């Protein structure tokens, strides 16, 4: 085993993990099974007799051990926020750092975000209410706001945490040592809309190689955190109704924005059809110095596209169901508010934390809302977490609601994700369910199950070898492979004093 | 099927019908019959013998912050005001309310089965209210009417709130009463102009204009438009006499449906209130008299009722906890309000003011079976609510509830029966 410890990924070689008790998660346990890896992918999984091991393959004997897929954490803040760093370095994790956007301070309260009130006249502009531009009295606005103004500071859908992700962070080493090979990492919950999530492997050569899904969702948050952060500064939101109103307002603005683009596409198509039909002179008319009409189409000038707004673009993806909203909510009342708004705008969303979902099962079940449950390990730090219990995942499983278990790392350290699953098993979840809730189901909820979450031919070769049953707290992680590369070995990953 | 028989049943006119029987099925009241009419109680019905007891419709507190000012949860449980902007009509209290607020359980134990949840008074336009039952599993089940109205505050609170918010916040704030009114009117004018543009657009479309862009949606403007169209009333909190007059004159000028709230100096402008036709949600009356309440009188609800004003009595929970609604009403009776008027002021009148009288506010066939059985007269301070039903479901039963006296007796801390009126 000393050879090739930096893995076989990229050299096209084979690696066979043999004789282990294999938990594929997608199927029944295989006693003395073989997991065959070719390069960075799983080539075959089966009983010893079913899987041929090519000559020259590196063989890892897992006799007496357990082999399972790399663990998947569907909600954490690893490596986008450096715990322990000072405020100048760290990125957002809103419980500690509000990440408040100062760009929008001129827009507080929205008195400024109203249409210019000029009336009369025959221009169709006067017939409709349109968001004011840079001349609005609040004085905000600028590049990238598409003339609509920036959203207030508690709503930053354009903050993309891909750019905050540090692939070299020590936090990822703890994840690997805990057998966690894929994470959905994201901004915190200190704002109503905090930003864009990403899904990444926990080890790899570069950020580009590691990140497997981006954008992975837009993080939003209900309940106490945003209230506390902004309310204490005399800013909105200071109440739950303020949170709901701000999210609605942002989504309505995005609908307005979407409508402008749809109108533009329509006019453009009409204009192009007209040009193609040879109608109305040269298309170069816009260059003659005449004032440009944003409407276009009515004459020989091509219609101008509306200005782009990156905040709106992220939310339009949510409205079109191209991107899920991932919404922090603990208490049943907050979850019901999320559900009302979700129904109102027809968006796809997951419930993050989902602490009291067991109290409104029917509402969650009939809408088929995935639930990311946790962090349950640890104290009840806030009033909104009073209802938390490790029974929740088992209840959700029993009702057929898609769920997974989260540490919310670093709220609970990432290496205890498996311990959380063990405790959920203890409180009533099935054995298979508790294992799936940190592998296949979390991969499905994070929308990366085509690549990770189970041991199946064709998936990424993310494999963990454990000393015993996955749900035994005493079982330790002995080896971890990511994309076919061995990234952890309990024997060689010792501190000097341990040797 | 549930039959509550032989009770003294409150009628919609505020009087009691002796030996009457209330029949309930499918969450609704089937009939209310007096002894003489001899109600046939179907076999198999659950029978509650209310002999010697009083049977009332679930009480309604016309305007509180129950559910949005969570009892016992400290500052983080307060969801009543967004002081960052004095004009916040887009806010909705249903998004803030917590269906498990302890205050709602207190309410059930005292027979209060519905309330309108209003934002606080920190904003001139504070947001949209909703009416809910005090029992239920989720707000979606509990909400009866949403939105039910718009909260408007013509008090000193927005000015104080903005002063406080100024420390970390915006440079906009109302500084005096005249500015309050200016901000209020500017918002209405904006919405009126938007409505006019919308009408012009519809006309242009009808005339065959094509390629007209659709207007942007704006939730603030939409909420104000609903007021201008008379789709919901404004509930205006006003204490001083000139604030009350301002509310009446502004509502008239802008064609708004008006309900006045609190009205500490209502008796000083009684004629104007009477003439306006506005209903009044009066009270709470048993409060400390801070500056703008210095002229508040315990006689206020009675004076309004005698003048023919439709009046509801309210606790403004948490100013006075919601379950002391009957204590407010009884105090008003002590100070001269007619008993029937006081009973109507916590049942049918708030139902009518909130526009939910088709479902609640009195014990009449077809209405929701929100009923409570009282051990004695509801205004007797020794009276306890023994049973409370919401939608025909028993939500409070004093007999099976945990009883601190039983516990104290069991602990050897006291002798049984020390509490007057109990068991």
The secondary element (H helix, E strand) that includes residue A226 is: helix A224-231
Q: B2 - beta bridge partners?
A: B24, B46
Average pLDDT on B156-160 reads 82
Contact A15, A484 (CB under 8 A): yes
So what's the architecture of A74-101+153-251+311-445 in CATH? Alpha-Beta Barrel (3.20)
Instruction: Answer whether A236 sits within 8 Å of B85, measured CB to CB.
Output: yes
B158: burial class by Cβ within 10 Å (0-12, 13-18, 19+)?
buried
Which 8-state DSSP code applies to residue A339? H
Domain ranges of chain A: 14-69+455-498, 74-101+153-251+311-445
Is the model's pLDDT at B368 over the cut of 60? yes
Is the model's pLDDT at B384 over the cut of 50? yes
pLDDT bin (cut points 50, 70, 90) of residue B177 is: confident
CB of B115 less than 8 A from some CB of A: no
**Residue B209 confidence (pLDDT):** 87
What is the value of ipTM here, to two decimals? 0.76
Over chain B, what is the mean pLDDT?
A: 91
| Cα–Cα dist A343/A368, whole Å | 12
Fold for domain B2-58+369-410? Urease, subunit C; domain 1 (2.30.40)
Domain ranges of chain B: 2-58+369-410, 59-354
Instruction: Answer whether A239 sits within 8 Å of B90, measured CB to CB.
Output: no
Instruction: Answer whether B211 sits within 8 Å of A295, measured CB to CB.
Output: yes
Structure tokens given for B361: 């506010």
- Per-residue pLDDT of chain A (499 residues), as tens digits, is 334 444 444 345 899 999 999 999 999 999 999 999 999 999 999 999 999 999 999 999 999 999 999 999 999 999 987 655 444 444 444 433 334 443 333 333 222 222 222 223 334 445 566 664 333 333 334 445 555 678 999 999 999 999 889 898 888 999 999 999 999 999 999 999 999 999 999 999 889 999 999 999 999 999 999 999 998 888 899 999 999 999 999 999 999 999 999 999 999 999 999 999 886 554 444 444 444 445 544 567 889 999 889 899 999 999 999 999 999 999 999 999 999 999 999 999 999 999 999 989 999 999 999 999 999 998 888 889 988 999 999 999 999 999 999 999 988 999 999 999 999 999 999 999 999 999 999 999 999 999 999 999 999 999 999 999 999 988 999 999 999 999 999 998 887 787 7
Domain boundaries B59-354, CATH class: alpha beta
Fold for domain A14-69+455-498? Urease, subunit C; domain 1 (2.30.40)
**Residue B38 confidence (pLDDT):** 67
Residue among A233, A295, A336 whose CB faces B168 most closely: A233
Which 8-state DSSP code applies to residue A460? B
Residue among A234, A243, A331 whose CB faces B164 most closely: A234
Mutate to test the interface with A, among B65, B85, B122, B213 (most CBs of A within 10 A): B213
Cβ-Cβ contacts under 8 Å for A144 (sequence gap 6 or more): A158, A308, A309, A310
Instruction: Answer whether B91 sits within 8 Å of A260, measured CB to CB.
Output: no
HEC sequence for chain B: CEEEEEEEEECCCCCEEEEEEEEEECCEEEEEECHHHCCCCCCCCEEEECCCCEEEECEEEEEECCCCECCCCHHHHECCCCCCCCECCCCEHHHCCCCCCHHHHHHHHCCEEEEEECCCCCCCEEEEEEEEECCCCCHHHHEEEEEEEEEEECCCHHHHHHHHHHCCCCCCCCCCHHHHHHHHHHHHHHHHHHHHHHHHHHHHHHCCCCCCCCCCCCHHHHHHHHHHCCCCCEEEEECCHHHHHHHHHHHHHHCCCEEEEECCCHHHHHHHHHHHCCEEEECCCCCCCCHHHCCCCCCHHHHHHHCCCCEEECCCCCCCCHHHHHHHHHHHHHCCCCHHHHHHCCCHHHHHHHCCCCCCCCCCCCCECCEEEECCCCCCCCCCEEEEEECCEEEEECCCCCCHHHHHHHCCCCCCCCCCCCC
- Beta strands A463-466 and B59-64 are unpaired
Instruction: Answer whether B95 sits within 8 Å of A233, measured CB to CB.
Output: no
**Residue B214 confidence (pLDDT):** 82
Q: Which residue of B has its CA nearest to A238?
A: B82
- Identify all chain A residues contacting B91, using CB atoms and an 8 Å cutoff: 239, 241-242, 244-245
| Cα–Cα dist B36/B275, whole Å | 43
CA of A254: how far to CAs of A214, A248, A316, in Å? Answer: 21, 10, 6
pLDDT digits (tens, 9 = 90+) for B297-315: 999 999 999 999 999 999 9
pLDDT bin (cut points 50, 70, 90) of residue B402 is: low
Instruction: Answer whether B211 sits within 8 Å of A119, measured CB to CB.
Output: no
Question: A421, A465, A442: which is closest to A68 by C-alpha?
Answer: A465
Report how far Cα B158 is from the mean position of its chain's Cα atoms.
22
Mutate to test the interface with A, among B67, B70, B91, B100 (most CBs of A within 10 A): B91
- Identify all chain A residues contacting B87, using CB atoms and an 8 Å cutoff: 109, 111
- Identify all chain B residues contacting A359, using CB atoms and an 8 Å cutoff: 137
- Identify all chain A residues contacting B77, using CB atoms and an 8 Å cutoff: 383
Contact A226, A243 (CB under 8 A): yes
- Alpha-carbon distance B169 to nearest alpha carbon in chain A (angstroms): 5
Q: A1 - beta bridge partners?
A: none
Residue among A227, A233, A237 whose CB faces B169 most closely: A233
**Residue A235 confidence (pLDDT):** 87
**B2-58+369-410 and B59-354 share one fold:** no
Q: Which residue of B has its CA nearest to A338?
A: B95
- Identify all chain A residues contacting B217, using CB atoms and an 8 Å cutoff: 252, 255-256
CB of B208 less than 8 A from some CB of A: no
**Residue A150 confidence (pLDDT):** 82
| Cα–Cα dist A95/A353, whole Å | 14
Kindly report the number of other CB atoms within 10 A of residue A163's CB atom: 12
Contact B58, B277 (CB under 8 A): no
Which residue reads 């934002």 in tokens?
Answer: B119
Instruction: Answer whether A383 sits within 8 Å of B74, measured CB to CB.
Output: yes
**Residue B399 confidence (pLDDT):** 86
Instruction: Answer whether B172 sits within 8 Å of A126, measured CB to CB.
Output: no
Instruction: Answer whether B169 sits within 8 Å of A128, measured CB to CB.
Output: no
Contact B66, B72 (CB under 8 A): no
Contact A455, A25 (CB under 8 A): yes
Q: What is the pTM of this model?
A: 0.82
Residue among A239, A255, A359 whose CB faces B82 most closely: A239
């Amino acid at each position: 085993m000393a050879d090739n410890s930096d893995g076989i990924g990229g050299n096209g070689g084979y690696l066979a993990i043999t004789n282990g008790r294999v938990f594929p998660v997608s199927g029944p346990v295989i006693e003395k099974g073989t997991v065959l890896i070719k390069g960075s992918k799983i080539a075959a999984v089966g009983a010893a007799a079913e899987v041929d091991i090519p000559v020259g393959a590196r063989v890892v004997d897992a006799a007496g051990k357990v082999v399972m897929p790399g663990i998947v954490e569907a909600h954490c803040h690893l490596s986008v926020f450096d715990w322990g760093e000072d405020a100048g370095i760290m990125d957002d994790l809103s419980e500690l750092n509000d990440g408040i956007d100062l760009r929008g301070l001129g827009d507080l309260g929205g008195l400024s975000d109203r249409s210019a009130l000029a009336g009369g006249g025959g221009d169709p502009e006067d017939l409709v209410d349109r968001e004011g531009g840079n001349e609005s009295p609040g004085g905000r606005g600028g590049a990238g706001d598409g003339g609509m103004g920036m959203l207030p500071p508690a709503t930053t859908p354009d903050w993309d945490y891909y750019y905050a992700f540090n692939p070299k962070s020590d936090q990822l080493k703890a994840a690997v040592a805990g057998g966690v090979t894929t994470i959905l990492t994201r901004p915190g919950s200190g704002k109503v809309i905090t930003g864009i999530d990403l899904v990444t492997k926990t080890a790899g050569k570069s950020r580009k190689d590691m990140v497997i899904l981006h954008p992975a969702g837009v993080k939003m948050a209900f309940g106490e955190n945003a209230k506390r952060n902004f309310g204490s500064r005399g800013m909105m939101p200071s109440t739950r109704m303020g949170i709901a109103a701000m999210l609605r307002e942002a989504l309505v603005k995005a609908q307005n924005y979407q409508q402008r683009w749809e109108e533009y596409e329509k006019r453009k198509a009409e204009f192009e059809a007209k040009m193609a039909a040879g109608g109305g002179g040269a298309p170069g008319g816009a260059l003659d110095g005449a004032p440009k009409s944003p409407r276009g189409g009515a004459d020989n000038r091509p219609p101008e596209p509306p200005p782009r707004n990156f905040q709106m673009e992220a939310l339009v993806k949510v409205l079109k169901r191209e991107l899920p909203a991932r919404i922090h909510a603990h208490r049943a009342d907050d979850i019901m508010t999320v559900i009302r708004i979700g129904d109102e705008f027809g968006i796809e969303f997951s419930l993050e934390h989902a602490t009291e979902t067991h109290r409104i099962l029917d509402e969650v079940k009939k809408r088929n809302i995935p639930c990311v449950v946790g962090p349950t390990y640890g104290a009840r730090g806030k009033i909104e977490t009073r209802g938390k219990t490790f029974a929740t995942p088992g209840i959700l499983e029993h009702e057929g609601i898609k769920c997974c278990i989260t540490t919310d790392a670093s709220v609970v350290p990432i290496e205890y994700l498996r311990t959380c699953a063990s405790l959920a098993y203890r409180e009533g979840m099935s054995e298979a369910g508790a294992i799936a809730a940190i592998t296949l189901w979390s991969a499905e909820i994070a929308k990366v199950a085509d690549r990770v979450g189970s041991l199946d031919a064709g998936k990424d070769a993310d494999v963990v070898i454990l000393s015993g049953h996955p749900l035994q707290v005493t079982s330790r992680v002995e080896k971890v492979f990511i994309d076919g590369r061995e990234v952890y070995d309990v024997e060689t990953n010792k501190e000097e004093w341990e040797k | 099927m549930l039959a509550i028989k032989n009770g003294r049943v409150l009628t919609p006119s505020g009087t009691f019908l002796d030996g009457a029987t209330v029949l309930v099925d499918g969450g609704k009241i089937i009939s209310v019959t007096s002894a003489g009419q001899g109600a046939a109680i179907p076999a198999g019905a659950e029978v509650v013998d209310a002999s010697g007891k009083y049977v009332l419709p679930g009480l309604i507190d016309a305007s509180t912050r129950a559910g949005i000012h969570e009892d016992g949860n400290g500052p983080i449980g307060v969801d009543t005001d967004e002081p960052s902007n004095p004009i916040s009509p887009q806010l909705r209290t249903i998004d803030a309310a917590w269906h498990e607020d302890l205050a709602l359980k207190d309410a059930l134990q005292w027979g209060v089965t519905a309330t309108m949840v209003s934002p606080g008074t920190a904003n001139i336009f504070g947001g949209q209210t909703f009416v809910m039952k005090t029992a239920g599993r989720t707000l979606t089940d509990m909400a009866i009417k949403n939105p039910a109205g718009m909260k408007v505050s013509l008090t000193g609170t927005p000015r104080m709130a903005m002063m406080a918010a100024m420390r970390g916040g915006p440079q906009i704030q109302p500084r005096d009463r005249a500015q309050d009114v200016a901000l209020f009117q500017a918002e209405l004018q904006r919405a009126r102009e938007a409505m006019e543009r919308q009408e012009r657009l519809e006309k242009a479309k009808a005339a065959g204009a094509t390629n007209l862009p659709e207007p942007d949606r704006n939730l603030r403007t939409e909420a104000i438009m609903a007021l201008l169209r008379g789709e919901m009333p404004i509930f205006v909190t006003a204490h001083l006499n000139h604030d009350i007059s301002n509310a009446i004159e502004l509502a008239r000028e802008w064609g708004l449906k008006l309900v006045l709230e609190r009205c500490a100096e209502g008796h000083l402008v009684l004629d104007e209130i009477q003439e306006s036709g506005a209903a009044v949600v009066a009270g709470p009356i048993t409060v400390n008299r801070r500056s703008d309440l210095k002229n508040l009188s315990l006689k206020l609800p009675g004076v309004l009722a005698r003048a023919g004003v439709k009046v509801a009595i309210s606790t403004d929970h948490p100013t006075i906890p919601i379950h002391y609604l009957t204590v407010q009403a009884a105090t008003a009776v002590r100070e001269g309000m007619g008993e029937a008027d006081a009973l109507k002021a916590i049942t049918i009148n708030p139902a009518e003011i909130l526009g939910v009288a088709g479902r609640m506010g009195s014990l009449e066939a077809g209405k929701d079976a929100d009923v409570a059985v009282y051990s004695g007269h509801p205004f007797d301070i020794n009276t306890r609510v023994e049973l409370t039903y919401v939608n025909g479901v028993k939500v409070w039963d004093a007999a099976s509830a945990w009883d601190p006296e039983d516990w104290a007796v069991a602990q050897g801390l006291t002798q049984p029966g020390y509490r007057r009126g109990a068991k």
